[in-house]
Amino acid sequence: MRIVKPKQLEQLAAGYRKTAGKHKKTVTVCCGTGCLAKGAQKIVDAFEECLNRRKVKDFDVEAVKKTGCHGFCEQGPLVVIEPQGIFYTKVKPKDIESIIEKSIENDEVIEKLLYTNPQDGRKIEKYSDIPFYSHQRRIALRNVGKIVPSDIREYIAVDGYKALAKVLTTMTPDQVIDEITKSELRGRGGGGFSAGKKWRTCRNVAADVRYVICNGDEGDPGAFMDCSIMEGDPHSVLEGMIICAFAVGAKQGYIYVRDEYPLAGIRLQKAIAASEEYGLLGDKILGTDFSFSIRLSRGAGAFVCGESSALMRSVAGEVGEPRAKYIHSVVKGLYDLPTVLNNVETFVNVPVIINSGADWFKKIGVAKNSGTKAFSLVGKVRNTGLIEVAMGTTMREIIYDIGGGIIDGRTFKGVQTGGPSGGCLPETQLDLPVDFDSLTKAGSMMGSGGMIIMDDKTCMVDVARYFLNFLVSESCGKCVPCREGLYQLHKLTEKICEGNGTEEDIEKMEKLSQQIVVGSLCGLGKSGPKPLLSTIKYYRDEYLAHIRDKKCPAGVCKNLIAYRVIPETCTGCMACVNACVYQAITGRKKEPQVINPDICQKCGACAAVCKYNAIEVS
Amino acid sequence: MVTMTINGKLARAKEGEMLLAVLRREKIDIPALCHHEAVEPYGGCRLCMVEITKKEWAGGKNMVTSCLYPVEDGLIIQTHTTDLIELRKTILDLYLARCPNTPAIQDLAAQYGVTQTSYEPVTDPDDCILCGLCTRICDRMGFGAISAVNRGHSREIAPPMKNAPPDCVGCLACALNCPTNHIKYSDRGFTREIWGRKFDLVRDAKTGQPTITKEFADYLSKHSDIPRDYFELKDESHRRETALSLGKIAIWNREVPQ
Amino acid sequence: MKSRFIVTPSLCTGCRTCELACSFTHAQDGKIGRSRIYPLDGGFKDLYVPVVCLQCEDPACVKSCLVNAIHFNENTGAYEINPEICVGCMACVAACPFGCSLFDTQQNLVIKCDLCGGDPVCAHFCPSKALTYKPIAT
């Protein structure tokens, strides 16, 4: 059914809202990749099975919605009863029967499934009251976890495509660019470049053919914001792209999805088909003269293809290698034609800005950093998951109020932002506002939004080594500073982790890093030394401990640690002997065991099985 | 026409030219290992980087690879600042770590005062500096027989699946333009061997000397619409034949007493 | 074309002064270069023919060059090989039916007569005027 007038869209939206309202209550089952891995499909199946057996008033299978990622991955599988907002955590299939009986048929709440606030031990009923959620401001993630992503009707019911209709019928392309520019929306992929400026430059290039590309490569380890948006709200990505295409004058668009996100690809493909059917994409959109098509382009497993010029080569079927961008891709991009490339999260902000206005958007966040940012909060924090906060929120708020602090009672050591291109920030920087400019000034960067929390058991030299290792294997290898320089930096960090480093090595690494930053061809190389430089800046003592004292304070670097049985605590149960595959532990039953340091491979299996904490790492 | 300032001197350039061409014309010696005029500039070795600024930039500077940066009116260029020398030193130092025994790299590095690498040399080094000239030229010629495979530090130049390349015609363009003479080939009698493939060389009917490979001759004849028998003689024989033919014409025209 | 290079074999004595002049003119780094002109036996008594690039109207060398290194110079009337573009594959050497494209082992490049950029030295030095560079009558 094709929509050829905005009025039709309004009527449809109203109609879908009415149909949805026929259920007094609805159940949202989080089916983001994380919860699916924890068994969310079984939850859905249990609902279906149960509802086949018993008839419930004003409730049926249709009221059980499989949505995208709700965000609180640590507590999944998640089930939410709407409209009350009752939040059930760690749900198992066997709980479904009682959920239906108590919370659907009646208005009772199942205590044992509720979230327990670790601060005071109290149970919280509604998710909006949970600190993890109450401190967030979900704009890019507005629909993720709320709607069924593969159903266009759900998207239309929440004002989906209303912005597109507004743009096509009441605005000129220049007005759209003006509005986006006024909002000061900055690229959410990491570059932080003004989206409006980018669109304006592309539009001003004289050309018959232009392209719009959405960067869904999200290569940073630990980042899954774009994943959740593509899986959980694919239509908003499309809407953002179509509005952009109208503004710059493009007829063809591509979404580059990394191949490691098959579900995102499937959801986007379905969304494209559905919106084409409804006349919201393709020929003569909404009955106007504007036509725009979108195709999916699959990545093939290279981090470097997240770089815009490498991405465009990949879309064109060539090997993903970046090029020097003295001539920007907005002037000469895909197939040497003007191309706008923006991140997934940037595009999904566009419909909201059109609907609510640039002024409204600017009020959120801080000066020159308007709006919100989605983060994947991972690592040694209690509440890992997908969050979104207003720009300018402090790191402390994110880690402690939303994240719930460090797990296992350990102490905070550092937070890595921006993935392999970013840096580590220590405790002294905890009150830093999280925005593009502040993070860059402190020696890190916003990046795409990965936020890895580390505790005192994390070795910062090892962290630098880890990221360098990643970059060395992901470098395209075209330019010398990155290919050879990062390789040598990695070798030097390895040397230090093995206990063979010298103090001159630190100076050597700092000097080489400066040259790599200056000389590299693309962003991968230019920002590659950042994790190393930031850890040397803020954790120099740890480097010196490895070098001077040949010790790893965090107990991580294998060459510098030793596993030892504490004879006073050991009960001689020999659980460790059984766990050790290297047969490094000897001793008689009920007597203290002894670890042979020459055989011990420091895998930690013995410490993991010891119930008496009788094994220490020095 | 644009006017720029290079190391304090004025220089003119055509629109669309790259900085490196202008620098070369002005006889300024800048290394550019991955550059060749037959193929598109690459920006891989980073040795040709120069410092640029403009009056409007109010002191702001940029470092760019001159092979890829188009000329601009009013550009102010410095080619040998201390920062640039430092950068070239580091790059050559890194090159020496990859190719410690390669004379071409040793010579260039020595020019910048780097006699041995301060980093960890690779075990089992070869002479390939991964400038990509061989693959880019092969692509430009229309064969595409070899390419860069693998990523990052494991990157290497190889034919498909590291087998003898089916598209190679044995023209030797890759070997002749390799800055470090890394690509080895052998011409023995009427057989040429390169990249693991053996080629037959055309034998000059008059002198018995070898010329180009049969495959290359076949390709050229087909591709350029030139009769295949042109390629059966070496240039020496062609010259002799030409002299004889033109001699006959002179006689026939009665220009010479018989 | 403003001038034309004319070769008159009947006047050639085979003295090879042209060959010398060409080699010296194209000297590189103090070493004499390879000559692009060769007086050869014409097949009859006392008949010598200076063999040099005929600057063909439809040159086989240009057609055979896979990297477009050979271009026509409007001013001199000669086809020139750009040494910076030439990759030394010898396609043109093999293709030229007159054998006037030559491989220079010193530079690892192909060379040919370029009429010395508009003032051919061999014509200057030819004692018998077998080689001349004359303006075309318009």
| Partner residue facing B152 (CB), from A476, A512, A521 | A476
pLDDT per residue over A353-402, tens digit each? 999 999 999 999 999 999 999 999 999 999 999 999 999 999 999 999 99
Least confident window among A10-19, A196-205, B156-165:
A10-19
pLDDT per residue over B212-228, tens digit each? 999 999 999 999 889 99
Structure token digits, residue A580: 């050790």
**pLDDT over 60 (residue B63):** yes
For CA atoms C118, C124, C130, C135, the dihedral sign is positive
Q: B with C: how many residue pairs have Cβ under 8 Å apart?
A: 138
Burial class (CB in 10 A: 0-12, 13-18, 19+), A608: exposed
Q: Residue B198: helix, strand or coil by DSSP?
A: strand
Q: Which of A401, A420, A455 is the last residue of a domain?
A: A455
Structure token digits, residue A437: 């400019």
Amino acid identity of residue A517, one-letter, is V
Residue of B nearest to A485 (CA): B94
- Strands A252-257, A211-216: pairing is parallel
Distance of CA C99 to the CA centre of its chain: 10
Contact call for B38 and C8, based on CB within 8 A: no
| Partner residue facing B238 (CB), from C66, C99, C103 | C99
- The verdict on residue A554 lying in a domain is no
Q: How far apart are CA B72 and CA B1, in angstroms?
A: 9
Contact call for B153 and A475, based on CB within 8 A: yes
Hey, which chains touch A, using 3+ CB pairs under 8 Å?
B
Asked if the C-beta of B192 comes within 8 angstroms of chain C's C-beta atoms, the answer is no
- The verdict on residue A267 lying in a domain is yes
The structure tokens 């774009």 sit at: A226
The structure tokens 């740890």 sit at: A542
Amino acid identity of residue B13, one-letter, is A
B256 chain-C contacts, CB cut-off 8 A: 9-10, 44, 47
Q: A with B: how many residue pairs have Cβ under 8 Å apart?
A: 95
Q: How far apart are CA A355 and CA A370, in angstroms?
A: 16
- Of chain A, the percentage scoring pLDDT greater than 90 comes to 72
Helix/strand/coil (H/E/C) assignment for every residue in A309-336: HHHHHHHCCCCCCCCCCCCCCCCCCHHH
**pLDDT over 60 (residue A498):** yes
My answer on whether A357 and A399 are in the same domain is: no
- The verdict on residue A122 lying in a domain is yes
**pLDDT computed for residue A261 by the predictor:** 94
| Partner residue facing A519 (CB), from B87, B98, B151 | B87
Is ipTM over 0.85?
A: yes
- The verdict on residue A449 lying in a domain is yes
Structure token digits, residue C49: 């023919």
Is A210:A241 a contact under the CB 8 Å cutoff? no
Q: Which of B107, B90, B102 is nearest to B129 (CA)?
A: B102
Range of the domain at A588: 562-617
Average pLDDT score, chain A: 92
Number of Cβ within 10 Å of residue A405's Cβ equals 18
**pLDDT over 80 (residue C11):** yes
- Strands A412-417, A211-216: pairing is unpaired
- The verdict on residue A8 lying in a domain is no
B240 chain-C contacts, CB cut-off 8 A: 40-41, 99
Contact call for B70 and A518, based on CB within 8 A: no
Q: Which of A295, A320, A319 is nearest to A306 (CA)?
A: A320
Burial class (CB in 10 A: 0-12, 13-18, 19+), B80: middle
Q: How far apart are CA A130 and CA A523, in angstroms?
A: 39
pLDDT per residue over A402-455, tens digit each? 999 999 889 999 999 988 888 999 999 999 999 999 999 988 888 888 899 999
pLDDT per residue over A521-553, tens digit each? 999 999 999 999 999 999 999 999 999 999 999
B91 chain-A contacts, CB cut-off 8 A: 480-481, 515, 519
Identify the CATH number of the domain in which residue A466 sits. Answer: 1.20.1440.230
Is B72:B4 a contact under the CB 8 Å cutoff? yes
| Partner residue facing C95 (CB), from B224, B241, B248 | B224
**pLDDT over 90 (residue B254):** no
CA–CA min distance B12, chain A (Å): 20
**pLDDT computed for residue C24 by the predictor:** 93
Q: What is the DSSP string of A169-184?
A: HH--HHHHHHHHHHHT
Length of chain A: 618
**pLDDT computed for residue A58 by the predictor:** 81
The structure tokens 């480093």 sit at: A501
B142 chain-C contacts, CB cut-off 8 A: 66
More confident site: B102 or A300: B102
Q: Which of A376, A362, A378, A7 is nearest to A186 (CA)?
A: A362
Q: How many helices (H) and strands (E) does chain A have?
A: 26, 21
What pTM does this model have?
Answer: 0.91
My answer on whether A177 and A322 are in the same domain is: yes
Structure token digits, residue A230: 């593509």
Length of chain C: 138
Structure token digits, residue A294: 């979108």
- Chain B residues within 8 angstroms (CB to CB) of chain A: 42-46, 49, 63-65, 68-70, 83, 86-87, 90-91, 94-95, 97-98, 118-120, 130, 132, 148, 150-155
- Strands A339-343, A211-216: pairing is parallel
The structure tokens 């004292």 sit at: A549
Count how many domains chain A has.
Answer: 5
Q: How far apart are CA C8 and CA B246, in angstroms?
A: 10
Average pLDDT score, chain B: 94
| Partner residue facing C95 (CB), from B230, B237, B248 | B230
Q: How far apart are CA A555 and CA A458, in angstroms?
A: 8
Identify the CATH number of the domain in which residue A577 sits. Answer: 3.30.70.20
Residue of A nearest to B94 (CA): A484
My answer on whether A466 and A447 are in the same domain is: no
The structure tokens 């994390």 sit at: A458
- The verdict on residue A183 lying in a domain is yes
Write out the H or E segment, with its range, that includes residue A436: helix A436-441
B90 chain-A contacts, CB cut-off 8 A: 481, 485, 511-512, 515, 519
Hey, which chains touch C, using 3+ CB pairs under 8 Å?
B
- The verdict on residue A49 lying in a domain is yes
Is C in contact with A (3 or more beta carbon pairs below 8 Å)? Answer: no
**pLDDT over 80 (residue B256):** no
What DSSP character marks residue C33?
-
**pLDDT computed for residue A259 by the predictor:** 94
- Of chain B, the percentage scoring pLDDT greater than 90 comes to 95
**pLDDT computed for residue B257 by the predictor:** 66
- Chain A residues within 8 angstroms (CB to CB) of chain B: 302, 304, 319, 323-324, 326-327, 472-481, 483-485, 487-488, 491, 508, 511-512, 515, 518-521
**pLDDT computed for residue A171 by the predictor:** 96
Structure token digits, residue A402: 């939303």
**pLDDT over 90 (residue B2):** yes
Number of Cβ within 10 Å of residue B162's Cβ equals 11
- The verdict on residue A10 lying in a domain is no
Q: How far apart are CA A304 and CA A471, in angstroms?
A: 9
Q: How far apart are CA B233 and CA B244, in angstroms?
A: 15
What DSSP character marks residue A348?
H
Contact call for B223 and C66, based on CB within 8 A: yes
If you classify domain C3-133 with CATH, what class do you get?
A: alpha beta
More confident site: A129 or A20: A129
CA of A232: how far to CAs of A190, A227, A229, A238, A308, in Å? 21, 8, 5, 13, 24
Contact call for C99 and B247, based on CB within 8 A: no
Q: How far apart are CA A414 and CA A455, in angstroms?
A: 7
CA–CA min distance B147, chain C (Å): 18
* All domains in chain B, ordered by first residue: 2-80 (3.10.20.740), 133-243 (no CATH)
Q: Which residues pair with A292 in a beta bridge?
A: A282
My answer on whether A519 and A594 are in the same domain is: no
Q: Which of A411, A417, A351, A419 is nearest to A389 (CA)?
A: A417
Cα Rg, chain B, nearest whole Å:
24
Residue of A nearest to B99 (CA): A484
Q: How far apart are CA A570 and CA C44, in angstroms?
A: 111
Contact call for B173 and C102, based on CB within 8 A: no
Helix/strand/coil (H/E/C) assignment for every residue in A526-558: HHCCHHHHHHHHHCHHHHHHHHHHCCCCCCCCH
| Per-residue pLDDT band at C138 (split at 50, 70, 90) | low
More confident site: B4 or A593: B4
Q: How far apart are CA A508 and CA A437, in angstroms?
A: 29
Distance of CA A315 to the CA centre of its chain: 23
| Partner residue facing B46 (CB), from A302, A319, A481 | A481
Q: How far apart are CA A429 and CA A389, in angstroms?
A: 18
φ/ψ (deg, to 5) at B56: -65, -15
What DSSP character marks residue A397?
I
The structure tokens 């499934």 sit at: A113
Helix/strand/coil (H/E/C) assignment for every residue in A104-156: HHCCCCCHHHCEECCCCCCEECEHHHCHHHHCCCCCCCCCCCCCCCCCHHHHH
Is A3:A41 a contact under the CB 8 Å cutoff? no
Q: Residue C55: helix, strand or coil by DSSP?
A: coil
Is A607:A563 a contact under the CB 8 Å cutoff? yes
My answer on whether A284 and A171 are in the same domain is: yes
**pLDDT computed for residue B258 by the predictor:** 61
Output the CA angle A210-A213-A215, nearest 5 degrees.
Answer: 160
pLDDT per residue over B6-31, tens digit each? 999 999 999 999 999 999 999 999 99
Q: Which of A322, A341, A361 is the last residue of a domain?
A: A361
B237 chain-C contacts, CB cut-off 8 A: 99
My answer on whether A465 and A444 are in the same domain is: no
Contact call for C49 and B255, based on CB within 8 A: no
**pLDDT computed for residue A483 by the predictor:** 96
More confident site: A572 or B46: B46
Q: How far apart are CA B91 and CA A488, in angstroms?
A: 12
